[in-house]
Amino acid sequence: MLDIPSRVRVHVETPLAAQNDMGVCDAFEQYAPVREPDTMNAPHPPKVAGIDSTVPSPAHTVAPAPVTTGPPAVPAAPSASSGPGALLTDRLAGWVSDLTTLHELTERLARTDTLADALQELLRAGAALVGARRGLVVLEPADRLGPDTMIGLGLGRADLGHIETVPRSALSYGRILEGLPGGEGEIAEPDLFAEDGLDPRHREVAARLGYAASYAMPLEADGGGGRLGAAVWLYDEPAEPGERQRHLIGLYVRYAAEHLARLLEVERTRACMRTMTEELLPSRLPRVPGVQLAARHRTGPRGGGDWYDALPLPDAALGLAVGSVTGSGPSAVAAMGRLRASLRAYAVMEGEDPVAVLSDLELLLRLTEPARSATALFAYCEPTLRKITLAGAGHCPPLLLGERRTEFVETSVSAPLGMLACWEAPSVELEAEAGETVLLYTDGLLHRTGEPTDRAFSRLHAAAAGVPKSLRHDPGAIADHVLRTLLPDGAAGQDSDEDVVLLAARFE
């Protein structure tokens, strides 16, 4: 039989909180008895990464031996289910169970790719670890660059609104975010109603929402991100997490804060790209007698080169343009801004000849940015005559929508700008009837459907033909209906690599 020493020491490693995988790996470091080693040692179980040497032992205890006054009892035979070996096995089993749980929760968190999803996952996982049902997370980065938000678990918007009416200094997350005394680390409030100094408004809100205890933790990133916010979990009855629960939630929140810091940076970059793109597009559409205008634009997460424009021209004319620059990111957005500004200048000088406008634009693109190509469509409109003269360079044909017809405008086949040594294609003239709407769009609208090009065109035609008559007097309502029909389930607003541009002009 193995002679297992009564005193053993297990050497463990510090948890790698910054890594994506906190699960079981490698092998247990050999544990050695404090006294002289025996000739035989127990086999070494696998090593688990993420166990801290300060991890408190599980709540497993050995019953004390009873005190007797009679003759000494005959010692019982050693049992496999008792003794130091069994205690060590229980402790290791508890550690493995905890680390397996952390591994699963951090994997689920790592799969989130948006800030809102990561915050919800943080609340759900934290509630499971501390034994709560509800909670909230307040995101307020210390650098004041935003975004600021509050998300609840098991709490509606009205509930969060009630909580916000409590003075921040009386709330645990408020003390953390404001840097008040006692807000440097975790804050446990095991029985709110038993506290003498509880704010009256806090007492009222807690009674109304039905929580009696709370446990709050700061969200702090170690990689220079600083404080990101605070998370609070609420208990229905007086309670607080145990020592081991606090250790596990501490490991999880440390990893979650690093993940949130990365997503926060991505969110800020996306917001910056959206703002830059929107600033390069018209802030408002012009008002020209005889025509109503509406535009819808959705930008991809990395920023794309799709654009539109509408500008008044001499002799009460109107210039409409849509286009797309190849590529994505800041360089494509900057190229789009340069191309749009150049087209506006050419349109003012010779807008009545769309072919000349696009020819000048092609020459500029070929000389200044030879490695880039673009598609564009320019239309010279005379609203009083409802006459349109347009030319396209590798762009999708416009769609004419009226009470008696829904058809694509026949345009000549032409190459995109920058693809040939010299671009030129004939223009097309058409006359719109009173009440008809011309839809100009970029190919991103078709690509987001996920369908082949011919099927995407058919779906666009069907979506335009299906606009109810009650909406056809409003170009904005027409554009919204086409987007909802062509891109259901909110696909028009979802992040996608493709930009979407839809410009609607209704002639009176």
Domains of the chain in start order, with CATH, are 1-51+82-111 (no CATH), 114-269 (3.30.450.40), 281-507 (3.60.40.10)
pLDDT at position 326 is: 86
What is the model's pLDDT at position 277? 79
Query: What's the pLDDT at 61?
Result: 34
Given a contact cutoff of 8 angstroms between Cβ atoms, the answer to whether 478 and 401 are in contact is: yes
226: nearest Cα among 264, 189, 197, 252: 264
Nearest Cα neighbor of 371 from 342, 341, 323, 331 is: 331
Q: Which of 323, 371, 328 is nearest to 344 (CA)?
A: 323
The 3-class secondary structure across 248-291, one letter per residue, is HHHHHHHHHHHHHHHHHHHHHHHHHHHHHHHHHCCCCCCCECCE
- Of 62, 65, 56, whose CA–CA distance to 81 is shortest? 62
Q: Tell me the C-alpha distance between 189 and 185, whole Å.
A: 13
For residue 229, what is the enclosing H or E element? Answer: strand 226-235
0.75 exceeded by pTM: no
For the sheet with 387-393, list strands across it: 304-313, 317-328, 374-382, 387-393, 428-431
**Distance (Å, whole) CA 366 – CA 377:** 17
Q: How far apart are CA 413 and CA 400, in angstroms?
A: 18
User: In Å, what is the CA distance from 194 to each residue of 190, 203, 213, 214, 327?
Assistant: 9, 10, 10, 13, 62
Residue type, 348: V
Question: Do residues 93 and 24 lie in contact, with contact meaning Cβ atoms separated by under 8 Å?
Answer: no
**Structure confidence at residue 7 (pLDDT):** 38
Give the H/E segment covering residue 98: helix 84-110
- The upper half-sphere exposure of residue 430, i.e. CA atoms within 13 Å in the direction of its Cβ, equals 20
Asked, as a colleague might, if the bond just before 147 is cis with ω within 30 of 0, I would say yes
Question: In this structure, are residues 468 and 481 in contact, taking their beta carbons and an 8 Å threshold?
Answer: yes
| Other C-beta atoms lying within 10 Å of the C-beta of residue 160 | 15
CA pair distance 329, 462, nearest whole angstrom? 33
Give the pLDDT score at 493. Answer: 46
Q: What share of the chain is helix, strand, coil (3-state, %, to 5)?
A: 35, 20, 45
Question: Which of left, alpha, beta for 267 (phi over 0: left; psi -120 to 50: alpha)?
Answer: alpha
pLDDT score of 148: 92
Residue type (1 letter), 460: L
For residue 199, which amino acid is it? D
Can you give the pLDDT at residue 145?
87
Q: How far apart are CA 240 and CA 50, in angstroms?
A: 24
The per-residue pLDDT string of the chain (508 residues; one tens digit each, 9 = 90 and over) reads 334 344 333 333 333 333 333 333 333 233 233 333 343 333 344 333 333 434 344 343 334 444 444 444 444 444 445 567 788 888 888 888 888 989 999 999 999 989 999 999 999 999 999 999 999 999 999 888 888 999 999 999 999 999 999 999 999 999 999 988 888 889 999 999 998 889 999 999 999 999 999 999 999 987 656 889 999 999 999 999 999 999 999 999 999 999 999 999 988 888 887 787 778 888 889 999 999 999 998 876 666 789 999 999 999 999 999 999 988 778 888 888 999 999 999 999 998 999 999 999 998 988 888 888 999 999 999 999 999 999 999 899 999 999 899 999 988 778 888 887 666 778 899 999 999 999 999 998 998 888 999 999 999 999 999 999 999 999 999 999 999 999 876 544 445 567 899 999 999 9
Strands in 84-186 per DSSP E: 134-139, 149-153
pLDDT of the residue at 497: 67
- Look at residue 333 in the predicted model and tell me its pLDDT: 86
Which DSSP string corresponds to 99-120?
HHHHHHHHHHHHT--SHHHHHH
Q: How far apart are CA 492 and CA 300, in angstroms?
A: 10
Per-residue confidence (pLDDT) for residue 414, from 0 to 100: 83
